[in-house]
Each structure stands twice: as C-alpha cells, then as structure tokens.
Amino acid sequence: MLIAYYFYQKNQNEEFVRWGDSIHTVNTEILKENDIEYKIENDKVYIPKSSLRKATFCCS
C-alpha cells in the first residue's frame, strides 16, 4: 500500500513540458494511443517530462 501511495504522489508532482506549438498542430489521438498523458492549457499541449522520450519516438 505504501508503494502505491509513493507512486501516486510522484505522478502528482511530475513536471509537464510543452509538446508542439499549439493544440492545432498536435495529434492528441497518437498520444492517447501510446498511453501518454497530456493536458491542455491556453491552447498548448503539455506532457509529463518522463514521457518526453516516448513521445519523441512515437509521435514526431
């Protein structure tokens, strides 16, 4: 149980980085298909820093 809580907390504090120029130039369906979490703020797409390599490999 403690291990699950540790990973939950780690994900909550994870840094997100901008991916692409805007929501209009990023194919979020590919991110979904590859199980890459993302969030959208002010028409910009952000992904977890830990997923940057995976996103570069599959989505660029």
Q: What is the pLDDT of residue 11?
A: 56
User: Domain spans of the chain?
Assistant: 15-59
pLDDT digits (tens, 9 = 90+) for 3-53: 544 455 455 678 999 999 999 999 999 999 999 999 999 999 999 999 999
Count of other CB atoms within 10 angstroms of residue 58: 14
Q: What is the pLDDT of residue 14?
A: 86
Q: What is the pLDDT of residue 10?
A: 53
Task: Give φ, ψ of 27 to 5 degrees.
Answer: -90, 95
Residue type, 15: E
